[in-house]
Amino acid sequence: MTMRMMGMALGNNVALIVVAGCSSVIQGMGPKNSYGYPALNIAFAAGSAAASGMWRAFKQRNKDVTVVVWAGDGGTADIGFASLSGAAERNENFIYVCVDNEAYMNSGGQRSGSTPHGAVTPTTPEGKKENKKELLFLMLDHHVPYAATASVGYPHDLMDKLRRAKTIEGFRYLQVLTPDPYGWLFDPSRTAEVGKLAVQTCYWPLLEVVNGRVQVSNESLHCLRKETRRPLRDFLSVQGRYKRLNDQDYKELESYVDYTWDRILKLMRT
Amino acid sequence: MKVMSGNEAVALAVKLARVGVVGIYPITPQTTIIEELAEMRARGELSADIVRVESEHSAMAVTLGAAVSGVRSFTATSSQGLLYMHEMVWWTSGSRAPLVMVVATRAVGAPWNIWNENTDFMSERDSGWIMAFASTPQEALDLTLQAFRISEDPRVFLPVMVGMDGFILSHTKTNVFIPSQEDVDNFIPPRRQPYVIDPETKESMGNIFPPIYYMKFRQSIHEAITNSEEVIKEVGREYNKISPLGDYGTLNVSYKLDDADYAVVTMGAWSLDAMEAVDKLRENGLNVGLYRVRYIRPWSEKEIRENLGDKRAILVVDRATSLGRGGPLYLELKSTLNIPIKGVVTGLGGVSVGKRDFYSLISRFVEEARYSEVGGVEWYYPGEVKEVELGTPRTAH
């Protein structure tokens, strides 16, 4: 869904770098390729580094091409984190899109750093103990010119963010929550709905940070005050991966949401 | 002519070749290559974009990213860096991306050791890269320049790795002839590559290939390596025209080998020490010659059989090892020739081996070969070390 929206937002002049993940397979069998964009497929940890070389090559050839790294949460939070951090620190000129379905879905859904607390996965059959790695804040600590979050439940918001990112020079980060029916265990027809619930229950904040200035997106404004947040249960109960959730786990997740919004509020004040 | 180290020579080659993007990460003893490049750039002498990445894995990735997007690219590393880069080394040759890397060789940990050993370089010989090894700073310059042209030749379209002995070549300064920028511009044609990742061409690379297609693709790399032998000789002959010291018409180099009964095979800087030993041995009536391997890949069975096929016995001295088996040059030769071959592994971890050691090794070998069929692998320690005791590790209680 995100790939399609990205195509609509960014237009034709794009070169993709696709790291190991579902999207490596969705392209179809070589030597043919089903993507409308030229794509360099690359090893798991190497996306951001390859992009650092690619955009410079286009610059030297005087070509105006938007370079986009397309990576999952495993490739972003874990194995690709060093190269992501390096590229952000150097303010490399490309857009990094993390499609976050909160696990290593291509290999069967094993936990990643981006898997939330309490979620059942094949490698955390009793539910993950740790909280979801806070990638957005980590990116903000690199002082990147643009960082944002989006959800497949709100396509127009997603496309607006990509269009804005395209106009900015330097390192741009977009993390899109992409609910996975097979990993999160819900009916595929509800994907967009689950993407909406994540935002409405304030689990997944929609934000845009341009040069350090935080702008909470419209769909998340109600989250700024605890009283107006939709109950987290509405989001969790739809997903089979939270079947084992006990009261303690639920409280842990609620305080994670509280903590996240406290951080956002703090950022808005500075 | 100018006095310079192997590292400085390589940096100069990168500038002369008009490289566009360089990925860099520090590791001893390659670091002065990247420092020299950064200084050249700061002085305005080098137009290449230098990317100071956060790891060697990323150094190869950034170089690959630029290469597939249409720009001549370069990186350098050693030892741990090369090993860390290993996945990307394979990804690059698998992607058929023309680019050049220099490896200043160094022993591999654990345990830590920063001194010269060729095992790091040799361990990449399965990967699908063209691989050349220098014996002087002059050769480091020359082979690096030729590497750009070889890699971008449509009959090859593969990355090329140029190795040189860490510290011994990387840091030691000798006289180097520098071809003019004009000569190099004529020598290296404008960049060609098999595909470009570009919205205009819409080509893609690297997605899943079903089994038969994958195998055919890998075979194409294999064929490109074997076919590259002709290209390398062609490029070498062209290079000879712009360099007065050029002897690049063959992949490997023979020294006093024609009439020799016995041969010593070496690679890299100590070949020159071995050559001095050969001279002395000949003075003393021993009929030996030296064969210096310059290209590991392609491995020229043709040249090797032509030059070594008629020898009575061969001594191979490796500054590298495939643990449990023997030196790589020894193993490769054994699979090429049907002659008694003895392998010596020495110089690991920077153990200093000089012409006196070569003299003693070769004369002992010839004695042995006269009366028995030589073979097997010997680990040689120079100087006072007579015996090495390998104790059993203590067990914890």
Q: Is the pLDDT of residue B393 over 80?
A: no
Residues B290 and B278: their CA atoms lie apart, in Å, by 7
Closest A-chain CA to B58:
A49
Q: Judge whether B37 and B168 are in contact, CB under 8 Å.
A: no
Closest B-chain CA to A82:
B54
pLDDT of residue B385: 60
Mean pLDDT of chain B: 96
Mean pLDDT within B360-373:
96
3-state secondary structure of B327: coil
Q: How far is B311 from chain A (nearest CA, A)?
A: 46
Residue B54 pLDDT class (50, 70, 90 cuts):
very high
Residue B339 pLDDT class (50, 70, 90 cuts):
very high
pLDDT of residue B244: 86
pLDDT of residue A121: 95
Q: What is the pLDDT of residues A150-161, one digit of tens each?
A: 999 999 999 999
- Which residue among B52, B69, B204 sits closest to A58, beta carbon to beta carbon? B69
Q: Is the pLDDT of residue B396 over 80?
A: no
Pairing verdict, β B100-105 and B160-165: parallel
Residues B7 and B40: their CA atoms lie apart, in Å, by 13
Tokens of B253: 């180099």
- Which residue among A46, A48, A54 sits closest to B88, beta carbon to beta carbon? A46
Q: What is the pLDDT of residues B213-253, one digit of tens each?
A: 999 999 999 999 999 999 999 999 999 999 988 799 999 99
Q: Which of B362, B353, B367 is nearest to B278 (CA)?
A: B362
Domain boundaries, chain A: 2-269
User: Would an 8 Å CB–CB cutoff place A88 in contact with chain B?
Assistant: no
User: Would an 8 Å CB–CB cutoff place A48 in contact with chain B?
Assistant: yes
> Chain B residues with CB inside 8 Å of A64's CB?
none
Cα A154 → chain centroid: 14
Residues B119 and B106: their CA atoms lie apart, in Å, by 8
Q: How far is B140 from chain A (nearest CA, A)?
A: 25
User: Would an 8 Å CB–CB cutoff place B205 in contact with chain A?
Assistant: yes
Closest B-chain CA to A42:
B206
User: Would an 8 Å CB–CB cutoff place B41 in contact with chain A?
Assistant: no
Residue A270 pLDDT class (50, 70, 90 cuts):
confident
pLDDT of residue B237: 98
Residues B257 and B289: their CA atoms lie apart, in Å, by 4
Q: Is the pLDDT of residue A141 over 70?
A: yes
Q: Which domains does chain B have, with CATH numbers?
A: 2-242 (3.40.50.970), 253-379 (3.40.50.920)
Q: Which superfamily does CATH assign the domain made up of A2-269 to? A: Thiamin diphosphate (ThDP)-binding fold, Pyr/PP domains (3.40.50.970)
Cβ density class B2-22: b for 16+ within 10 Å, e for less? eebbbbbbbbbbbbbbbbbbb
pLDDT of residue A1: 86
Tokens of B307: 């030059």
Q: Judge whether B46 and B37 are in contact, CB under 8 Å.
A: yes
> Chain A residues with CB inside 8 Å of B52's CB?
90
User: Would an 8 Å CB–CB cutoff place B370 in contact with chain A?
Assistant: no
Q: How far is A267 from chain B (nearest CA, A)?
A: 28
pTM of the model: 0.95
- B176 — phi, psi (to 5°)? -130, 130
Q: Is the pLDDT of residue B97 over 90?
A: yes
Q: Which of B246, B63, B21 is nearest to B141 (CA)?
A: B246
Mean pLDDT within A166-171:
98
pLDDT of residue B83: 98
Q: What is the pLDDT of residues A257-267, one digit of tens each?
A: 999 999 999 99
Q: Is the pLDDT of residue A108 over 70?
A: yes
Closest B-chain CA to A64:
B199
pLDDT of residue B386: 59
Closest B-chain CA to A23:
B207
- Which residue among A31, A38, A42 sits closest to B61, beta carbon to beta carbon? A42
The DSSP bridge partners found for residue B267 are B293
Closest B-chain CA to A39:
B204
3-state secondary structure of A76: helix
User: Would an 8 Å CB–CB cutoff place A166 in contact with chain B?
Assistant: no
The ipTM is 0.94
Residue B389 pLDDT class (50, 70, 90 cuts):
low
Q: Is the pLDDT of residue B49 over 80?
A: yes
Mean pLDDT within B30-41:
94
Q: What is the pLDDT of residues B159-191, one digit of tens each?
A: 999 999 999 999 999 999 999 999 999 999 999
User: Would an 8 Å CB–CB cutoff place A76 in contact with chain B?
Assistant: no
Q: What is the pLDDT of residues A6-25, one digit of tens each?
A: 999 999 999 999 999 999 98
- What are the strands, taking DSSP E only, across chain B? 2-5, 21-24, 49-52, 73-77, 100-105, 130-133, 160-165, 173-176, 253-255, 262-267, 288-293, 295-297, 313-318, 341-345, 377-379
- CA-based angle B205:B206:B208, to the nearest 5? 130
Taking an 8 Å cut-off on Cβ atoms, the answer to whether B61 and A43 are in contact is yes
- Which residue among A17, A27, A57 sits closest to B70, beta carbon to beta carbon? A57
User: Would an 8 Å CB–CB cutoff place B207 in contact with chain A?
Assistant: yes
Count of A–B CB contacts within 8 Å? Answer: 162
Mean pLDDT within A47-71:
97
User: Would an 8 Å CB–CB cutoff place B379 in contact with chain A?
Assistant: no
Q: Is the pLDDT of residue B388 over 80?
A: no
Q: For residue B183, how many C-alpha atoms fall within 13 Å in the half-sphere facing its CB?
A: 15
Helix (H) or strand (E) holding B183: helix B181-187
Q: Is the dihedral of CA B37, B39, B43, B48 positive or negative?
A: positive
Number of residues assigned to chain A: 270
Q: Is the pLDDT of residue B319 over 90?
A: yes
> Chain A residues with CB inside 8 Å of B73's CB?
53, 57
- Count of CB atoms within 10 A of residue A130's CB? 11
Q: What is the pLDDT of residues B129-154, one digit of tens each?
A: 999 999 999 999 999 999 999 999 99
User: Would an 8 Å CB–CB cutoff place A115 in contact with chain B?
Assistant: no
pLDDT of residue A64: 96
